[in-house]
Amino acid sequence: AQSVTQLDSHVSVSEGTPVLLRCNYSSSYSPSLFWYVQHPNKGLQLLLKYTSAATLVKGINGFEAEFKKSETSFHLTKPSAHMSDAAEYFCVVSPFSGGYNKLIFGAGTRLAVHP
């Protein structure tokens, strides 16, 4: 069975400081992994995706994530937070690498950015 655990429900950082949003996954197969961002009352925007290519994935808005198979982790990072980064972030797993099927969502992490 596949599952996703986002280790922090809330993360609060100061503007200009690094961001770390943690995600662990469980999958019987080589999964595809995604990070999506959701601003209030909006749909989801893809930040980045891992599909069995390079383990360090760069996304939009300065975000990146590293796939670590030994740790079954896919943590999202950004060197310097901006006020506009405040949103809900979802780590998502799709069971089959290279195929995009049913998505399994983590519970979400709400990122707050303070001046």
Partner 1 sequence: GAVVSQHPSRVICKSGTSVKIECRSLDFQATTMFWYRQFPKQSLMLMATSNEGSKATYEQGVEKDKFLINHASLTLSTLTVTSAHPEDSSFYICSAQHPNTEAFFGQGTRLTVV
Q: Which residues bind partner 1 (CB under 8 A)?
A: 34, 36, 41-46, 49, 90, 98-100, 102-103, 105-108, 110
Tell me how far apart the alpha carbons of residues 33 and 21 are, in angstroms, rounded to a whole number.
Answer: 14
In the bound complex, what is the minimum distance in angstroms from residue 78's beta carbon to partner 1? Answer: 20
Rank residues 32 and 73 by Cβ distance to partner 1 and give the closer one: 32
In the bound complex, what is the minimum distance in angstroms from residue 110's beta carbon to partner 1? Answer: 8
CB 15 within 8 A of CB 111: no
Rank residues 40 and 115 by Cβ distance to partner 1 and give the closer one: 40
Please state whether beta strands 19-21 and 64-68 pair in parallel, antiparallel, or not at all (unpaired): unpaired
CB 2 within 8 A of CB 26: yes
Rank residues 3 and 80 by Cβ distance to partner 1 and give the closer one: 3
What the block records as the tokens of 44 is: 């989801």
